[in-house]
Amino acid sequence: MKDIAMSFLSVTEKAAAEVYPYIGKGDKMTADEQATKAMRAELNQQPYTSRVVIGEGEMDEAPMLYIGEVLGNKGTASIDLAVDPIDGTTSVAQGRGNTIAVLAGAPKGKLLHAPDMYMKKIAVGPKAAGAVHVEKPLDENIEAAAKALGKDISEMNIMVQDRKRHHEDIRVIQELGASVTLFAEVDITYAVTTALEEYDTDMLVGIGGAPEGVIAAAALKSLGGDFQGKLMPQNEKEYERCINMQIQNPDKILTLEDIVDSSECFFTATGITDGTLLRGVKNEMGTNLKTHSFLSSAGQYRFIESAHVKIVEQPLV
């Protein structure tokens, strides 16, 4: 799986590089379309057969990277993928930071087919794995995580997306004496940093997109951390969507094993704009692009810097 993961690194690199000309140009639709085309083309170059289980939407609403699309050498699908060509399309269009091209993979049938709806989430790193539960009161989870980490509660730093729906969580955290760090977009990034010693991130909590939750869960699984979720269908139509995607009990608490049922999983992300985890795409000498990526699999992770040199064919003399 480590070799497979390295092969898929080029997929997020190509998607991120393709978006570079559209950063800050106000056209999120074109940026997303170009990233999707680049990601799909690179996936089709892979020697492995992959199937999209979380992507741009259903077949009838997404021409590329739709749920169920088979890519690669077109044999029997052996790898399931959750992909997001741009996590943070509005931020890219507005030239704001912390946007990434991202994908996660696992053996066939081992990734939750999460519908596009809200999910309640909690994420922690390896030292606090097993100490928290998504349905426990937030103060109890913080206390349990602090004990597992060997920290005083006043030393705990909790990542929360800056949304009105999280105002009560913010109040609880601060009254307990822990610190809150708010972020605008891309909760995948902050879920990942809970598992990395070099970041002052002890826990992520809140409500965000379910597809992003699956990608974050794969990252945490590959890093030895913990992620739990609970789907939050807002109406009967969303509830039925869960059933149609083979989630027989949409109210079930989703453990890490429910979401990613294999240790043979991987996660790769490439920065589009500068962010907490990754630097954005840079233009060198007016022609060459440099990308900065993160790759994790089987308990190992690495940061990778790549230069994408434009090769110009010279005419024969």
Tens-place pLDDT, residues 149-177: 999 999 999 999 999 999 999 999 999 99
CA distances from 259 to 139, 148, 150, 184 (A): 25, 23, 28, 25
**Is residue 32 marked as binding?**
yes
Q: What is the pLDDT of residue 316?
A: 64
**Residue 60 labelled as part of a binding site:** no
- Is residue 152 marked as binding? no
- Type of residue at 47: P
Strand-pair category, 50-54 with 79-87: parallel
CATH topology of domain 1-109+265-309: Fructose-1,6-Bisphosphatase; Chain A, domain 1 (3.30.540)
Confidence of residue 315 (pLDDT cuts 50, 70, 90): low
- Confidence band of 122 (pLDDT split at 50, 70, 90): very high
DSSP run (H or E) holding 172 = helix 167-176
Mean pLDDT of the chain: 93
Q: Residue 56, annotated ligand binder?
A: yes
Amino acid 147 reads: K
Nearest to 190 by CA among 222, 172, 174, 213: 213
pLDDT digits (tens, 9 = 90+) for 270-299: 999 999 999 999 997 767 899 999 999 999
- The span from the CA of 282 to the CA of 285, in Å, is 10
CA distances for 303 relative to 74, 271, 294, 296, angstroms: 30, 11, 5, 9
For the domain 118-259, what is the CATH code? 3.40.190.90
In the chain, helix, strand, coil percent, each to 5?
35, 25, 40
pTM: 0.93
Name the residue type at position 96.
Answer: R
Sorting pLDDT into bands at 50, 70 and 90, what band is 3?
A: confident
pLDDT tens per residue, range 7-47: 999 999 999 999 999 999 999 999 999 999 999 999 999 98
Domain residue spans of the chain: 1-109+265-309, 118-259
212 annotated to bind ligand: yes
pLDDT in tens, 52-94: 999 987 766 778 999 999 999 877 668 999 999 999 999 999 9
pLDDT at position 169 is 97
User: DSSP character for 315?
Assistant: P
